[in-house]
Amino acid sequence: MAGQGESGDRAAAGGGRMSRRSGAMRDEVIAFKRERILEEAAAAFYEHGYQGTTLEAVATRLGVTKPFIYYHFRNKAEILSEICRRGITEAVAALDAAQAGEGTPDQRLAAAIEAITRTVLEQQAYTAIYFREEKNYPADDAVELNRRRKAFDHKLSALLEEGVAAGVFEIEDVRLTALAIGGMISWAFTWYNPRGRLSTAEICRRMAGLVLRMVRRPE
Amino acid sequence: MAGQGESGDRAAAGGGRMSRRSGAMRDEVIAFKRERILEEAAAAFYEHGYQGTTLEAVATRLGVTKPFIYYHFRNKAEILSEICRRGITEAVAALDAAQAGEGTPDQRLAAAIEAITRTVLEQQAYTAIYFREEKNYPADDAVELNRRRKAFDHKLSALLEEGVAAGVFEIEDVRLTALAIGGMISWAFTWYNPRGRLSTAEICRRMAGLVLRMVRRPE
């Protein structure tokens, strides 16, 4: 069955006639398949929980057989790890971009908050699974995911500290404030409704506004 | 085994010699046993997840047998419901007290935030389970628990509206701000360390301070 998936990839890539381009296409198709498996697995874990979802059920959602999934992922735990890695990796990247970016500390903080909020909203199922399924992380991944979460808190604290040093922010307790901000944003996975009152962009803008009010030095 | 538990209660209550007092004692002992079951179940669910915990394991933690637990709870799901009901019920009660209380809107909001934060910190395992195990709620309880969560958001919004009407708060979007505040506080279950840098009282005070900065009209 895995072999069949393989020849399917090659057919899609044009039967190997143009070897460089077909190699690229083959990688793209594999990446596309992995992505679709992750998407459907995330939707299933989100609805029924990780333990309540079988790979059989994920295969059915995709209209494929279980061996097709096993060709792309070692097991259900590897799929969970990959899903959980997404959100936190993007959130940390948003903070790195803010750190390296131009503008005043409040402009950079606002940009970071908007980017992180967007990640949480657009990857609502991934974010929910990341937090809900903590007890199901494989042990090795738990350590790594925990390390990334700590990195997130440290980088956010560093961004706040910078604003304090520049005299733009006034913060009694930088570490607690970073945790409070992280909670405000992460939590959005619990209440966000894609068909709700506000657009994604508007929610991101308002969240950044709330954070700035919390940290800006009063004029 | 359930019968043995019963005679144990009666013995503790003095063998029924003083019927009114022994009746009260019997109820107290039953309540105490239920409470201990909930505590150990919460600790186990917190460490291993709901689906990863058997009632057998909870019984072992308590040094009792499984029928002892079945005498007090219908099944594992009923224990989960009871655990989940705790935190949200206390949080809603804190908002009711703030609504009914005396003082300016900011004093009442600060008191509510401190009380809710205290609930989250003191019932860290209960709060974590409430949020993580949403997909395992029995269907009837899911409806009720969801209703209470909505009540929480509404009551917090009402308290914010009151402050806006009194000219003490200035808030662009009351509903989003209530959700943001709810997230800031609830999230504390993910990072709170009872042996950490700050006392519970200090965390509660600082959280209230952050919330007030977010909503108070600038002077």
Question: What percent of chain B clears pLDDT 70, i.e. is strictly above it?
Answer: 90
**What is the Cα–Cα distance from A209 to A77, expressed in whole angstroms?**
38
Quick one: pLDDT at residue B173? 97
CB contact under 8 A, B183 and A179: no
Q: Which residues of A touch B203 (CB under 8 A)?
A: 176
Q: Is A132 within 8 Å of B135 when comparing Cβ atoms? A: yes
State the Cα–Cα distance between residues A180 and A171, nearest whole angstrom.
12
Give the span between the Cα atoms of B1 and B5, in whole angstroms: 6
What pLDDT score does B23 carry? 77
Instruction: Please indicate whether, in this complex, the C-beta atoms of B185 and A183 are within 8 angstroms of each other.
Output: yes
* Same-domain pairing of B40 and B24: yes
- In this complex, do B214 and A213 lie within 8 Å of one another by their Cβ atoms? yes
Residue A95 sits in the same domain as residue A201: yes
Tell me the shortest Cα–Cα distance from B180 to chain A, in angstroms: 5
Cα angle A163, A164, A168; round to 5: 60
Q: Are residues B34 and B117 in the same domain?
A: no
Which candidate in A154, A187, A204, A219 is best for mutational testing of the B interface (most B CBs within 10 A)? A187
- pLDDT tens readout for residues B163-198: 999 999 999 999 999 999 999 999 999 999 999 999
What's the CATH number where A168 sits?
A: 1.10.357.10
Token code pair at residue A183: 């909670």
Q: What is the CATH number of the domain that holds A10?
A: 1.10.10.60
Q: Is the pLDDT of residue B213 over 60?
A: yes
Distance between A218 CA and the closest CA of chain B, angstroms: 8
Q: Which of B48, B73, B98 is the last residue of a domain?
A: B73
Same domain, A61 and A81: no
Contact A69, A59 (CB under 8 A): yes
* Residue A169 DSSP code: B
Residue of A nearest to B177 (CA): A210
Distances A150 to A43, A155, A156, A178, B186 between C-alpha atoms, Å: 27, 9, 10, 11, 18
Question: Are A85 and A170 in the same domain?
Answer: yes
A67 and A91 in one domain? no
What string of pLDDT tens digits covers the 219 residues of chain A?
Answer: 333 343 344 344 444 445 556 678 888 999 999 999 999 999 999 999 998 899 999 999 999 999 999 999 999 999 999 999 988 898 999 999 988 999 999 999 999 999 999 999 999 999 999 988 888 888 888 899 889 999 999 999 999 999 999 999 999 999 999 999 999 999 999 999 999 999 999 999 999 999 999 999 987
Give residue ranges of B with CB < 8 Å to any A CB: 47-49, 51-52, 131-136, 153, 172-173, 175-177, 179-188, 190-191, 197-198, 203, 206-207, 209-210, 213-214, 218-219
* Last-in-domain residue among A47, A73, A99: A73
- Alpha-carbon separation of residue A23 from A33, A135, B133 (angstroms): 15, 39, 44
Among the three residues B20, B47, B73, which one is the final residue of a domain in this structure? B73
Task: Examine the domain organization and report whether B103 and B37 are in the same domain.
Answer: no
Residues B49/B180/A214/B218 CA torsion (nearest 10 deg): -150
Nearest to A52 among B135, B203, B207 (CB): B135
Length of chain B: 219
* Alpha carbon of residue B40 to chain centroid: 15
Rounded to 5°, angle at Cα A24 from A19 and A30: 120
pLDDT value for A138: 85
Q: Are B52 and A49 within 8 A, CB to CB?
A: no
The number of domains in chain A is 2
Residues 6+ apart with CB under 8 A from B21: B13, B14
Say if the Cβ atoms of B191 and A179 lie within 8 Å: yes
Are A105 and A177 within one domain? yes
Residues of A in contact with B197 (CB under 8 A): 175
Range of the domain at B39: 2-73
Tell me: the pLDDT tens digits for B84-103? 998 889 899 999 998 899 99
* B83 and B51 both lie in a single domain: no
**B62 and B99 co-located in one domain:** no
B134, B210, B218: residue with CB nearest A180 = B210
Q: What per-residue confidence (pLDDT) applies to A19?
A: 53
Contact between chains at B136 and A49 (C-beta distance less than 8 A): yes
Query: Closest by alpha carbon to A182, among B192, B90, B13, B9?
Result: B192
Q: Which of A48, A173, A175 to mutate to test the interface with B (most CBs of B within 10 A)?
A: A173
Residue B155 pLDDT exceeds 60:
yes
Query: Are A209 and B172 within 8 A, CB to CB?
Result: yes
**CA distances (Å), B188 to each of A108, A152, B181, in order?**
25, 16, 11
- Per-residue pLDDT band for B136 (boundaries 50, 70, 90) equals confident
pLDDT of B9-54, one tens digit each? 434 444 444 555 667 888 899 999 999 999 999 999 999 999 889 9
Count of Cβ atoms closer than 10 Å to residue A64 Cβ: 19
B19 with B57, same domain?
Answer: yes
Tokens representing A2 are 């895995």
Residues of B in contact with A209 (CB under 8 A): 172
Together in a domain, B41 and B85: no
- Asked if B37 contacts B62 with a C-beta cutoff of 8 angstroms, the reply is yes
Mean pLDDT of chain B: 89
Measured between beta carbons, the chain B residues lying within 8 angstroms of A179 are 187-188, 191
Q: Is the pLDDT of residue B79 over 90?
A: yes
